[in-house]
A and B are shown apart, each in its own frame.
Chain A
Amino acid sequence: MDEDELWTREVRDEYARPVPGEPDARARLLSRVRHERAAGIASRVLRVSPLAAAAAIAIALGLGAAGGVAWMKSCTPDSGHASGPIVRTDPGRTTVTFVFRAPGASRVALVGDFNEWDPEATPLRRAALGDAWTADVALHDGLHVYAFVIDGREWSPDPSAPLAPESSYGRRNSVVVVGEGNAL
């Protein structure tokens, strides 16, 4: 046996010799394998189809809207009795929120003795959901007469507020009172 053949045999025997392992090495290896498998399963659970994602978003939006409506109702100061405009009195300032439902309207304006009955002065904002339109207006104490103008041509009183009996110009107006203990 020449020198080269002897060296090759020593190397081969060294490779074939079993490696002395740590006593808990197998346990650590199995634990790591289980952990990675569990992580893989978790990532597969979170993977959903686009249709299911859209449905989930729609449900979440619906629940959010319902919650928002309930919250707005709970915030209405006169929820005990009065419909019509919502009067909020802060120190030195009274703000009245006007709400009007106008299905199919493209624009709604508020006109009254507080804005010179100018249909361009106080446009209402369309609410995010439904067909309600709203406007917040700072008003002085006293009796105010108002109406809504739909799409720049049709005048309408507020169906939820008291009516003014006088109709000199063909259509009745509505009435809001500020500064009488926020009664109306």
Chain B
Amino acid sequence: MSLRPALLLACALAFATTAHAAPSDEERLRARLSPEVADRVLVVVRSASDQGLPTRGLVARALEGESRHAPAAAILDAVARQASALSAARRALGPGARDAEIEAGAAALLGGVPEDTLTSLRHVRTSGSLVIPLVVLADLVARGVPTPQASETVLAATRAGAGDPELLRMRERVNQRITKGEAPPGATREGLRELLLRTPWEQRRPPPGGSAKGNSP
């Protein structure tokens, strides 16, 4: 008899916990996708989860496809490519990369940035976050800057010691120039030049094996 109230309380607590828990990835996918598509997306999501990769973007990519009325094949293709990019980004950035860095790196890779660039960025900025440099890099590529030039620009700016605010200012200036009709490569060259002129020498990091002041013009 004394167990009955305790059992009821446990059931009530379990119900309350379930009722307030956020819906799982599976519940969210099954609520919006057909059973076949949801099953196939879930296979990819579980595989990524087993590898320790962030899965939030995979579920979101599938739901975005449904909202945009994309065909099932396009949704499955987008989710598979995103999972592959997440895996490659973690490989390029190293096992210590945070989820946001892996997601930003995956976006850059999907835009055509080579894995080497991500690895180089990690070597240049060893202690700070790479999210903003990767977002700026992906944005330059999305605006039509050739991938090698975009990679070199962000690497050079980061190597010169530019922080996140400086990188974002450069992105904005390049964007303004492109919007006014300037060609993306020229706008990017000018944006990098302005950034380097405004970055004080004391703030610049020495390149590996050398002194920053030794490179001054």
Residues of A at the B interface (CB closer than 8 Å) are 80-83, 111-113, 116-119, 141-143, 145, 155, 162-166, 168-170, 172-173, 175, 177, 179-181, 183-184
What B residues does A142 contact at CB under 8 A?
Answer: 56, 99-100, 103
Quick one: which of B71-117 are within 8 Å of A by CB? Answer: 74, 77-78, 81-82, 99-100, 103-104, 107-108, 110-112
27 contacts between A and B (CB under 8 A): A82-B168, A111-B67, A113-B57, A113-B63, A113-B64, A116-B67, A117-B66, A118-B67, A141-B100, A142-B56, A143-B100, A162-B138, A164-B107, A164-B138, A165-B138, A165-B142, A166-B82, A168-B65, A168-B77, A169-B70, A169-B74, A177-B100, A177-B131, A177-B135, A183-B132, A183-B165, A184-B164
User: Given that A81-B172, A117-B60, A177-B100 are contacting pairs, would A168 and B81 also be in contact in the complex, using a CB cutoff of 8 Å?
Assistant: yes
Chain A residue with Cβ nearest B57:
A113
Give the docked Cα–Cα distance between A98 and B193 (Å).
Answer: 31
Chain A residue with Cβ nearest B113:
A165
User: Given that A81-B168, A116-B32, A175-B139 are contacting pairs, would A165 and B110 also be in contact in the complex, using a CB cutoff of 8 Å?
Assistant: yes
What B residues does A172 contact at CB under 8 A?
Answer: 142
What A residues does B32 contact at CB under 8 A?
Answer: 116
Does B159 make an interface contact (CB < 8 A)?
Answer: no
Residues of B at the A interface (CB closer than 8 Å) are 28, 32, 56-57, 60-61, 63-68, 70, 74, 77-78, 81-82, 99-100, 103-104, 107-108, 110-112, 129, 131-132, 135-136, 138-139, 141-143, 164-165, 168-169, 171-172
Name the contact of B131 in the complex, choosing from A82, A155, A165, A180 (C-beta under 8 A). A180
Minimum CB–CB distance from A80 to chain B (whole Å) comes to: 8
Beta-carbon contact of A165 and B108 below 8 Å: yes
Given contacts A117-B63, A165-B139, 16 further A-B contacts (CB under 8 A): A81-B165, A81-B168, A81-B169, A117-B64, A164-B138, A165-B142, A166-B110, A166-B111, A168-B61, A168-B77, A168-B78, A169-B64, A169-B70, A169-B78, A180-B164, A183-B165
Give the docked Cα–Cα distance between A177 and B77 (Å).
Answer: 26
Chain A residue with Cβ nearest B23:
A116
Minimum CB–CB distance from B146 to chain A (whole Å) comes to: 13
Chain B residue with Cβ nearest A82:
B168
Beta-carbon contact of A169 and B68 below 8 Å: yes
Name the contact of B136 in the complex, choosing from A112, A155, A162, A164 (C-beta under 8 A). A162
Name the contact of A163 in the complex, choosing from B60, B82, B142 (C-beta under 8 A). B142
Beta-carbon contact of B65 and A169 below 8 Å: yes
Chain A residue with Cβ nearest B141:
A165
Minimum CB–CB distance from A44 to chain B (whole Å) comes to: 57
